Structure 1
């Protein structure tokens, strides 16, 4: 095979791959931009604002992200992760002793049964049981709302991270495309500088040497 023909084949192949990587990079950039804008718009619509620094309690001040974002509007995935884990998570733990919505279901059911029994027997402890039931029911409802909001915020964070990864992958695609373009152009220059009659010389296989 002619050396010039081989250079042209490699160069054209490299140009094709460069175009492919460029197209993939554009698609990834588009996805990254969409994810970033979508998360910003959706979080911004919630109108959540971090607690001002002066109003943070001692436990909240231990979370660096709450201090850094104090008084700011929540608009990014990182901020959503911070608010979900360091703010909502902290208050849920303090309010229900770390119990989840599911954990509070059993004591709520037990108290309901005790209240029903007390009503049938005219138990003097009925008022106290009803008070306990109202307290547990209120905690469970609040925990449910908190866990739901926390889950939504963490979902937004995960979606934003996918956008970040897509942006990083797009950068790699652009760098790969640029490298292939440079190599392809170098190959084309070499091809047109190489005489048409010059053949490609394959390297000769190494010969085994005998001892003795």
Structure 2
């Protein structure tokens, strides 16, 4: 194969991959911006203010929420901190470590007993409702965190694509330059003893 032909093929391939990486980077950046904008607007619409002061004095809460104290919740990271280190802490205290499913099972069993203490049934019913609402809110907030994380991953994927595209574009330009300086008759042998040698005759 002529060296010029090989250079032309490699250079063309480099430009094609560069274009693909640029398109991929653009799509990933668009996805990142779309996700981050939606997470921000959806959380901002809820008008949740991160707790501060005495509300976060608990050692199970303060290390995780102190950096966000008093801020409006607008990011996935804030949502995760609030869900896992504020709501869940209070749920565990209220339910004494029991989950919603466990409390709900107790409530159903107790309310089916006609001789059960009505006050106890009402108390379990209230706790069941509290844990249900806590689970629901945690789920929504953790979904926001998950989507926010996907947006961050898409952003860095876009950066990697753009860097890769720039690198390949530079290599392709060097290949194009090399192709112009290679003698037209130079051959490339592929396989053992594949050293390039000029054509004879």
TM over 0.5: yes
Q: Deviations over 1:148-202 (max 9, x none)?
A: 0001101110111111111111111111111110110000011112222333355
How many residues align structurally?
Answer: 194
User: Is the CA contact (8 Å cut-off) linking 1:3 and 1:200 kept in structure 2?
Assistant: yes
> Which of 102-111 and 38-47 deviates more?
102-111
* Structure whose alpha-carbon radius of gyration is higher: 1
Residue 51 of structure 1 corresponds to which residue in structure 2? Answer: 51
What is the TM-score of this pair, normalised by structure 2? 0.89
User: Is the CA contact (8 Å cut-off) linking 2:91 and 2:134 kept in structure 1?
Assistant: yes
Provide the C-alpha distance between the structure 2 equivalents of 1:181 and 1:161, rounded to a whole number of angstroms: 30
- The structure 1 residue matched to 2:128, chosen from 129, 140, 150, is 140
- The structure 2 residue matched to 1:173, chosen from 161, 164, 179, is 161
Segments of 5+ residues of structure 1 without an aligned counterpart are 119-125, 207-212
- Output aligned runs, 1:6-155, within 5 Å: 6-52=6-52, 54-59=53-58, 62-114=61-113, 117-118=114-115, 129-155=117-143
Secondary structure at 2:97's aligned position in 1?
A: coil
User: Is the CA contact (8 Å cut-off) linking 1:44 and 1:73 kept in structure 2?
Assistant: yes
The Cα shift of 1:203 comes to 7.4
User: Is the CA contact (8 Å cut-off) linking 1:81 and 1:157 kept in structure 2?
Assistant: yes
User: Is the CA contact (8 Å cut-off) linking 1:21 and 1:176 kept in structure 2?
Assistant: yes
User: Is the CA contact (8 Å cut-off) linking 2:56 and 2:65 kept in structure 1?
Assistant: no
Residue 179 of structure 2 corresponds to which residue in structure 1? Answer: 191
Over 3 Å counting, the alpha-carbon distance change for 1:22 and 1:57 in structure 2 is closer
User: Is the CA contact (8 Å cut-off) linking 2:10 and 2:175 kept in structure 1?
Assistant: yes
The Cα shift of 1:48 comes to 0.6
Provide the C-alpha distance between the structure 2 equivalents of 1:149 and 1:202, rounded to a whole number of angstroms: 64
Secondary structure at 1:102's aligned position in 2?
A: helix
User: Is the CA contact (8 Å cut-off) linking 1:60 and 1:86 kept in structure 2?
Assistant: no
Please, what is the CA RMSD of the aligned residues?
1.8
Provide the C-alpha distance between the structure 2 equivalents of 1:177 and 1:21, rounded to a whole number of angstroms: 5
- The structure 1 residue matched to 2:170, chosen from 182, 185, 188, is 182
Provide the C-alpha distance between the structure 1 equivalents of 2:192 and 2:138, rounded to a whole number of angstroms: 67
Provide the C-alpha distance between the structure 2 equivalents of 1:42 and 1:157, rounded to a whole number of angstroms: 12
